[in-house]
Structures are given as structure tokens and as C-alpha cells.
Structure 1
């Protein structure tokens, strides 16, 4: 696999910077004022409970590797496409389902814009303009395991803390019928968008 171009590396560096700054800001905002070590630990659990945060961490890891000129490992075709899938779903779910549920102000607005808008747009732009080819359908199946693992993680956190990361996963409120309906919808979204990304990669690799 050829190394990323100078433009691709520069865009990856910018994307990594925005992701890292947004993640740090969001973590600081989650910590209660004057918190002790226990408060920091509680904030860390909440922080890592959001798929938004995990997908942005994935973006930062991949983009730091690409900015350094790496074209394999975490910057290879499979991981890059998988992270494109995760960050795309992050942006879509926020815009379609979560955006109207709260109205962030001040620094929280900046964190919100970074994590849910700027990073998805920058990363997907970099993915589309980057190198293509080398993806196989079995890699999509592996990529789809991550949301399954996250679902188990989110339910565990919800059970332990009483707070579920997202309202569409709050099964005690939704009931099992509503919860399973939401899970099925999200599974369809991940599968359909993942198949689209893999098809786009194949089409662009032929050009």
C-alpha cells in the first residue's frame, strides 16, 4: 500500500488535532468542579461510555498514524474504513436523533461541534480523498463486531451506574420491545452504511 500523500497527511494531522482537542475538552467538562480522584474516575467511566467518544478516539489514532506517513497497521485500509463507518454513524445519529434533545452552550458547544460535526466531516473527507482498494468483505464483518461489543459495554455501564449513555439504549424506560426495535434499527444502519463504504472503496479503486 502506497504511503499517503502530503495533502492526505496534512488533512489527517488537522483531523487528529481537532479530535484530540475536542476529546480533552469534553473530558474536562465531564469532571465536577473540585473533584477528587473518585470524581475523576467517575468522569472517565462516563466519558468512555459514549460511542461518540470511542469513535473520535479511533479517528485520532488512525489520523496520527497517517499524519506520520504510515499506510499499514491502524492506518491500513480495513481500520480506516471501519473508523469511517463509526464516525459517520456518530454524526448521523447525533444529527437525526440527539441534536434536539439538548442545547449546549459555551465550551460545551465547542466540544459538541468538534465531536459531532467537524471530526466526522474532516475524517470522511480524508477517507474519500485518500487511497482506495485493499478492502475485503470479511473486514466489514469484523468492523461490525465493534458496535456489538459497544452495546454490551453500554448496557453494563447502565446497569452499574443507572445512567445509560443514550436514550435509545435505556431499556428500563423503553421496555424490551422498544429497546430491541432500536437495536435492530441501529444494526441495519451500521450494516447498510458499512456495505456502502465498502462498495464506494471498490468503485474508486478501479478509477
Structure 2
């Protein structure tokens, strides 16, 4: 990428991080304020919304900070950035189609809710599509990315078996039973895989569109 595009990309990364991290802090504070002081941190990280936004926040912050330090460079890998794109898209789509109608947040909770489920996803996807380099993803990455929702599902059912609490209604084993909850998990996993494949395809399309006929970057 040209120095100008790189500078704009880094500035946009600052914007993404500046929205994601305060929204996460606000959501954690609201959880603490609601009476979950003792187990707030564990409960906080039991929501896929939180995990996907933390992933986005780390990816954006690593780009904004620059440098070649190993831990920062890890979060700038194309595969990690792609995983963040798929994860935050799933967060937005599942919330918009399944979860938003189940409650009506107000005040600060509404701010955190809209930021984590809509503002951060839109900002990150604009950054990923328009300002990041493309062409490094492979088709097998769509399968590799499934470890993220798989880990979340295993953690959700293991924790739920102990505390009898589930982060989302469609995963509530106590109300739905394991059969329905597992089917719902597979459906979300299928969405994750389809979106992952679509993002790999988009990565390849965007890579080709940024080169002119003589092979030079536009």
C-alpha cells in the first residue's frame, strides 16, 4: 500500500480501537453495577459479543501502535484480522436477527449495546475491506477459524452445567435441552463457516481489484 493509504488505515485503526475499548469498559462497568461483582470478569468473557469485540480491539490497537514487537505483530497477521472480521460479523448478524427483539436496553446499556453490536462491526468491516492489504488468506482458513466458535461452545456448555446460566437464549440447555441447543450451535457454526468462506473469497477479489493490468498496485 502507498504511504498515504497506510497512514489513513492506521488512523482508522485508532478510531476502531477508540470505539471498541470504551464500549467494552462500559459494558463491564454495567455488569459490575448490576450486582455481579464477584464473578463479573468470568461472566463478562462468557459472551461471544465480548470475545469478538476484544479480538477486534486487539487487532485495531496493534495496527494503531505499529512496531515489530512479536505480540503486536501477531494481531496484525492477515489470518487473525480475517478471523476478527468473521467473528464481529456473526456477532452483528445474530444479534440483529435473533437477540435484539428479546430485550430493550436503555441509557448507558443502550449505548454499550449499540456500540458493541453495530458500530464496532461496521467500523471494523469498513477498515478491513477498504484499507487493509488483501490476498494472503487461503480457503482452509475458513475451517481453521472454526476453532473460535468451537471453543466458545465448549466453554458455554461446560460453564452452564456448573452455574446453570447460559449467555444466549438459543443456547439455554435448561430451557431447550441439549438436543435443541446443540442444533442451534451447529447452525451458528454453519453461518460462521459460510461467512468465513465468503470473506476468503472477498479477500481474493479485493486483492485482484487493487492491481492494474500491468501488475502495478493502483
TM exceeding 0.5: yes
1:137-159 Cα offsets, whole Å, 9 max, x none, are: 23322211110011011112212
Counterparts of 2:66 and 2:11 in 1: how far apart (Å)? 10
The change in CA–CA distance for 1:204 and 1:8 in structure 2 (over 3 A counts) is: same
2:171 is the alignment partner of 1:174: no
Which range is displaced more, 177-186 or 144-153? 177-186
Counterparts of 1:185 and 1:54 in 2: how far apart (Å)? 19
Aligned to 2:85: 84
1:75-108 Cα offsets, whole Å, 9 max, x none, are: 1110000000000000000000000100000100
After TM superposition, the structure 1 = structure 2 runs for residues 70-149 of structure 1, keeping only pairs within 5 Å, are 72-129=73-130, 130-149=132-151
Q: Find the partner of 2:197 among 173, 178, 195.
A: 195
Aligned to 2:214: none
Aligned to 1:54: 51
1:60 Cα deviation from its structure 2 partner: 0.6
Which range is displaced more, 196-205 or 41-50? 41-50
Aligned to 1:45: 42
The change in CA–CA distance for 1:28 and 1:16 in structure 2 (over 3 A counts) is: same
1:98-143 Cα offsets, whole Å, 9 max, x none, are: 0010000010010001100100000011000121111122332221
Counterparts of 2:206 and 2:158 in 1: how far apart (Å)? 40
| Structure whose CA Rg is larger | 2
2:60 is the alignment partner of 1:63: yes
TM-score, length basis structure 2: 0.87
Which range is displaced more, 100-109 or 153-162? 153-162
TM-score, length basis structure 1: 0.92
Aligned to 2:156: 154
5+ residue gaps, structure 1, are: none
1:206 Cα deviation from its structure 2 partner: 1.2
